Structure formats: structure tokens, C-alpha cells
Amino acid sequence: MFDKSLRVGTRDSQLALCQAQKVLDLLKVAHFKTQLVATKSAGDLNLSQPIYAMGIQGVFTKALDIALLENRIDLAVHSLKDVPTQLPQRLVLAAVLERGSASDVLVQLRKADLSQVSTIATGSLRRKAQWLHRYPEHHLVNLRGNIQTRMDKLYSSNWEGAIFARAGLERAQLLGPHFQELDWMIPAPAQGAIGIVCRMDDSELIKELQKINHQSTRICVDIERCFLRILEGGCSAPIGAHAEVAQKNIQFKGGVFSLDGQTAATTFKEVDISDGQNLAEEAAKEVLAKGGDQILKTIKHGIQ
């Protein structure tokens, strides 16, 4: 029996605290003792720069990584889409909770005719690139801040809408009646999933955390994150990936987009779940062969 009181680390934003509470509730059901440790991240402190321009990976996870390595917390709770595919040495993704919605949504103050020139807000290069791919005549404006801050900015604006992750709005109880689900937009790898990171040498804890791990979600997000890692994308490249289990198969869609949205290289694959271990590599090779390699090269060298 694991009788140690677990120090659970989280960012102190509204959404992060909601997600941490979900983990605390599951740990309580599994008979763990817990205490919550909240901290601010670089991504929370710097709201003026777009995430991709901040020059470091893991802007929302670095502070908690350091807390883990300095033994100030025992595990860290993250929106898994914020977690770099390459974790710091001595840290491991120990568990993933059952996923919420992976979809992006357009939140609107009023119903707008998107066939007309519109102004849409987002801080995500992936969302911006895919939106411009579909609506090349629209204007995109940068939107940063925690989820409540972004909603407040939308409500005080004259924009036609702003793009959010549906799961985040639902968890923070901010999803109102005026939204469109963007089923054509490929989500960020691991969007909608909550991940738990801990120290690699804490083998007893890693074993115990399997009690709250959701295996089919873990399979899917591992594929998505592997696809992202192979393409060497991060916050600076518009890459989308989504896998889901459908009966005995895994369905996967992924893609990379030019920053202006004019060019896209995408793929859709469906394989037996037993063949899932090669899915990310096969999908990434196909995307690169379809022109994704040139898109990524152009972005890397700042030609666009």
C-alpha cells in the first residue's frame, strides 16, 4: 500500500486547477493521500509574446519539471498538448487520464457569416494556419492568456470569433451556447488529454499511477506525440494529429500546414490496433513525401 502523501504540482490557472482537481479526485478514489502545490509558468507570466516566439520548449511545463527534479513535488499535472515530446532526463509520462473532447471550437458573441471577411482570434499557429487554409481572406489576430482572460478579451472585442479547445472550456465551465465545433480542423497532438509526469526513479509511484491510467487514451496520444516528434515540430510549426480507437482499429489523421495556410500536407490512416506501433512513423513519412518536408524547411529557415 502506498501510504505517502503525494505532492501534486500544477499551474495556478483556472483550467489547470480544474484539471488538477480531477486528478486529486481520482487519486482519492484510489485511496491516495494528496496535497496540492500550485505554481506559475513562464507561459502564464509572459502574455505579450506569442508562445512560438518565446524561444523555449515547455513554456507551460518547465517550472513544474524543475519542481519535480528538485523533489518539491511528487507528480505534475499537465494539459498533455503542452508537454514537449522530449521530456527532461529523469522524468517520465507516468499516466494519462481518459480523454475529453479533442476538438477545436469557434466561440462567437453573435452568429456571423463566415463567408464574409471576418476577424478571428487565436494564439495558436496550428489553428491560424488551418483557418487561413479554409478562409484565406480572413484576418487573424493574436490571443494570449489563460482561458478566462481569452474569453474576457473576446467578449470585449468586435471579432467575429475566437478559437478554443472544447475540452478546456468544458472543464472550466465556460462553454456557452454560441460556438461551432470545427470538425474539419486537425487538433493539436494530445489535445483534450491530461497527463501526469513524475520522476523516472519513482518506480513504486509509477506502478500505482496505472490505477488511474486510461490505456486506450494512452495508445492514441503516444501515436500523436510520436508523429509530432518525428516531424520535429513544436510550438513553432503548425502540426495537427489525432488518433482514436474505433472498435478493433485505430484511425489517425495528421498534417502540417504552411504559416499562411496556402499549403498543406495531410494524411488519414486506419490500421488494426495491433499494428499501431508503426502508425506514427508511416503517417509522418507520408506527410513529408506529400510536401511536408518543404513546408517544415521553409518555416525553419524563416522564408515565409
Cell numbers 482537481 correspond to 21
**Per-residue pLDDT tens digits for 30-71:** 999 999 999 875 544 444 444 444 343 556 789 999 999 999
Nearest to 188 by CA among 235, 134, 147: 235
The whole-angstrom separation of Cα 133 and Cα 127 is: 10
Query: Contact, 11 vs 39, CB < 8 A?
Result: yes
Note if 222 is an active site residue.
Answer: no
Number of Cβ within a 10 Å radius of residue 304: 11
Residue 236 — very low, low, confident or very high, per pLDDT cuts 50/70/90? confident
In the set 44, 65, 74, 82, the catalytic residue is 82
Q: At what angle do helices 147-155 and 14-29 cross, to 10 degrees?
A: 140
Q: What is the mean pLDDT of residues 14-35?
A: 94
What is the arrangement of strands in the sheet containing 75-79, beginning at the earlier edge strand? Answer: 33-39, 5-11, 75-79, 194-199, 91-96
Average the pLDDT over each of 30-34, 93-97, 229-233, 265-269 and give the range with the smallest value: 229-233
| pLDDT the model gives residue 232 | 79
Percent with pLDDT over 70 in the chain: 91
Residue 198 has pLDDT above 80, yes or no: yes
Residue 176 — very low, low, confident or very high, per pLDDT cuts 50/70/90? confident
Q: What is the mean pLDDT of residues 13-42?
A: 90
| Average predicted confidence (pLDDT) for the chain | 90
Query: Contact, 106 vs 154, CB < 8 A?
Result: no
Find the helix or strand (DSSP H, E) in which 133 lies.
helix 125-134
| pLDDT the model gives residue 110 | 84
Grid coordinates in use for 182?
470545427
How many distinct helices (H) and strands (E) make up the chain? 10, 13
| pLDDT the model gives residue 57 | 52
Structural domains present in the chain? 5-97+193-213 (3.40.190.10), 104-181 (3.40.190.10), 228-300 (3.30.160.40)
Which are the contacts of 143, defined by CB distance < 8 A and separation ≥ 6? 121, 122, 123, 150, 153, 154, 162
| pLDDT the model gives residue 58 | 57
Q: Is 291 left (phi over 0), alpha (psi -120 to 50) or beta?
A: left
Nearest to 125 by CA among 291, 249, 304, 276: 304
Which are the contacts of 30, defined by CB distance < 8 A and separation ≥ 6? 208, 211, 212
CA 265 → CA 80, 226, 238, 261, 262, distances in Å? 24, 17, 11, 11, 11
Query: Contact, 137 vs 117, CB < 8 A?
Result: yes
